[in-house]
Amino acid sequence: MGKLQKLSVFLLSVFREFPRRHLIVASALAGCLLALTAYPQNDVKIKRQIAEPLEIVIAERVPAAIVEQPQSFELNWKEQKVTSGDNLSTLFQRAKLSPIDVYKISASKAGKSLRNLYPGETLKFGVDSGGQLAELHYVKSPLESYIFTNNNDGFSAEKKVREPDVLIGYREGVINDSLYMAGKQAKLPDKLIMELANIFGWDIDFVFDIRRGDSFSLTFEDRYLEGQKLGAGNIIAASFTNRGKTYKAVRYTDSNGRSNYFTPEGRSMRKAFLRTPLDIFRISSGFNLRRKHPIHKKIKAHRGVDYAAPRGTPVYSAGDGKVIATGYSKANGNYVFVQHGQTYTTKYLHLTRKKVRKGQSVRQRQLIGTVGSTGYATGPHLHYEFLVNGVHRNPRTVKLPQSRPIPKAEKTAFFSATKPRLAQLAKYQTPTQLASAQADSSSAN
């Protein structure tokens, strides 16, 4: 913990004693201190955020229940970290505890929670003076634990969940090489770079459409527990400017508790077809905008689009549908054809492996094969075709079916929830981001 961070945590604890009207002012100050410590000081763009007053007054939150019970003095505590291949028995063995306890705990009501242990989780064993297991703490994450207590007739369990403090994080970037590189430079965690590509992947082909100078900005949930950074949560709002055209998206949780991304007007970002039917990050990591994609240039009457990609790159179904053909031919190599409703068919050629069978239903983004160079192909690539009523169309420019708007009943709630989020994103954007977000399409290419 840095000095400032310690200070802000200290301040938080002091302010809890204050009358409430002081609390708000004081906590805003503490929040600023916390934000100061949370971001690297040498990044100009990130620094801007520090000047902004924080939206969330963190000390106003009621501190959540403490997971760790005050550990009894009579108990002797041992800790075991779950590593790959571990199960309850191996962990108990390492802690030198009886297999009978494994059985008793497994048989208890909450014992189910211990069936699937994952690397990184922790078991804490509280053993009494007689060598008996009195308490077991199963720590799944800083936010989720189970406390098992040994009673005379077996173990009872209690689940403890803590709510993190959520601040608003902001990042922006300009693309020089690839989205991935730009995301890294903007200090975005991989998870958020991928989420960003998923949000805009229905509108933008991240392999072919990206140009140097394209830019992005986003706000996201930045989660803390007692002043310690937990990592990023979800993207809240985002903007992506591609060749002069700006796309915006905002997260909204509907009355059924389902969260999705929408345009500011309330249309779903999710469309019937993906623009790029393969894992773009397998390409982007080594992808260079200056590099051309020469495969197939010489072949006449080329009716699809080619994505040069490493052999084995996952290929996804562009939309929900049914596999109408799979097989091998001299020209196509291994191929998969998918039909989507009455109107659309997509075709995927030169695969190393096919992962679906004829007649099988597939979901959008379901793995259907992997990139290869079977058939007439000079190197590994995906040849992708898009047919509308049996006629080949350019997959990159074909007009795709409109996505569904938000239901009428949700409209009022949608706008009141999302407008402040979009306004907040705009407030954080630096002048260059704003300019590119407002540039018209005459500056495209």
The β-bridge partners of 151 are 154
Nearer to Zn ion, 304 or 319 (CB): 304
User: d(Cα 215, Cα 24) in Å, to the nearest integer?
Assistant: 36
Residue number of the CB atom closest to Zn ion = 383
CB of 307 to Zn ion, least distance (A): 9
CB of 334 to Zn ion, least distance (A): 14
Nearer to Zn ion, 223 or 383 (CB): 383
Burial class (CB in 10 A: 0-12, 13-18, 19+), 399: exposed
Nearer to Zn ion, 186 or 349 (CB): 349
- Residues in contact with Zn ion by CB under 5 A are 296, 306, 383
Length, in residues, of the chain:
445
Q: Which two tokens stand for residue 203?
A: 């509108």
Question: Where would I find the beta strands (DSSP E) of 97-163?
Answer: 122-127, 133-141, 144-151, 154-161
User: d(Cα 261, Cα 251) in Å, to the nearest integer?
Assistant: 4
Nearer to Zn ion, 146 or 307 (CB): 307
User: d(Cα 78, Cα 137) in Å, to the nearest integer?
Assistant: 10
CB of 396 to Zn ion, least distance (A): 13
User: d(Cα 404, Cα 269) in Å, to the nearest integer?
Assistant: 9
Nearer to Zn ion, 5 or 332 (CB): 332
The owner of tokens 């400017």 is: 241
CB of 336 to Zn ion, least distance (A): 15
Nearest to 126 by CA among 142, 105, 144: 105
CA distance readout (Å), 84 to 14, 100, 247, 287, 360: 42, 23, 42, 33, 34
CB of 202 to Zn ion, least distance (A): 23
Handedness of CA 248, 251, 255, 258 (dihedral sign): positive
CB of 299 to Zn ion, least distance (A): 7
Nearer to Zn ion, 3 or 300 (CB): 300
Nearer to Zn ion, 59 or 336 (CB): 336
CB of 302 to Zn ion, least distance (A): 6
CB of 304 to Zn ion, least distance (A): 5
Nearer to Zn ion, 160 or 347 (CB): 347
Q: Residue 319 gets which letter from DSSP?
A: S
User: d(Cα 158, Cα 135) in Å, to the nearest integer?
Assistant: 11
The answer to whether 247 and 204 are in contact (CB under 8 A) is yes
